[in-house]
Amino acid sequence: GENVEQHPSTLSVQEGDSAVIKCTYPDSASNYFPWYKQELGKRPQLIIDIRSNVGEKKDQRIAVTLNKTAKHFSLHITETQPEDSAVYFCAASINRGFYFGSGTKLNVKP
Amino acid sequence: DSGVTQTPKHLITATGQRVTLRCSPRSGDLSVYWYQQSLDQGLQFLIQYYNGEERAKGNILERFSAQQFPDLHSELNLSSLELGDSALYFCASSVGGYSNQPQHFGDGTRLSIL
């Protein structure tokens, strides 16, 4: 199938703490893994992506790691801020299509 | 502003009707993707077009169809509408035809079926 599994579905952290969201994908041929942030009622916005030839990518407080052998990838947000509160979606290219995880609702408490 | 334009922003119609949603990709992008997002749900991939041709098909119902025109704008047609079709419909565009490139989303069309 084309299921991208994403966990947890909700995540609550204190401001300044780190947050980690994990996704697994079924197809070892998948080669592109983006993460999107979606605020309520708005469009998904690309925040970081990684390709299968790279194990880790970092952009300021956000990083993504990829384990091709285990077919999973993770989003790491450090020093979380209240404005990081949103729904985060992972995605993977599978069989010429593009499939999203079910989303993680992140709540950063001030 | 992502550069992807979707019209209309809102659409209210009744069961059994047919509607057309429109998407204009970012300048220079040749691919258009359509997604359905139901309330509190994830993004369901429907279909992708690249330079006028269907490129990939996801979980698109037979009642739904799409096309991409020579000017690269795309339309998603939804027919015999049911209550369960109420959702936010997004289109996204990317430069090339492979699904391994960044996609940029429009603001969506909110479809409400009464």
Torsion of CA B31, A76, A79, A108, to 10 degrees: 80
Question: Each residue of A49-93: pLDDT tens digit?
Answer: 999 888 999 999 999 999 999 999 999 999 999 999 999 999 998
B90 touches chain A (CB under 8 A): yes
Q: For position B31, what pLDDT does the model report?
A: 96
Using pLDDT thresholds of 50, 70 and 90, give the confidence band for residue A1: low
pLDDT reported for residue B95: 93
What is the tens place of the pLDDT at every residue in B11-64?
999 999 999 999 999 999 999 999 999 976 789 999 999 999 999 999 899 999
Q: Considering CB atoms only, which of B45, B90, B100 is closest to A99?
A: B45
> What's the helix, strand, coil split of chain B in %, to 5?
5, 50, 45
Q: Measure the CA–CA gap between B109 and B90, rounded to whole angstroms.
A: 7
Q: Which residues of B touch A48 (CB under 8 A)?
A: none
CB pair distance less than 8 Å for A98 and B101: no
Q: What is the pLDDT of residues B65-89, one digit of tens each?
A: 999 999 999 999 999 999 999 999 9
Considering only the beta carbons, identify the residue of A31, A45, A89 that sits closest to B100: A31
Does residue B109 register a pLDDT over 80?
yes
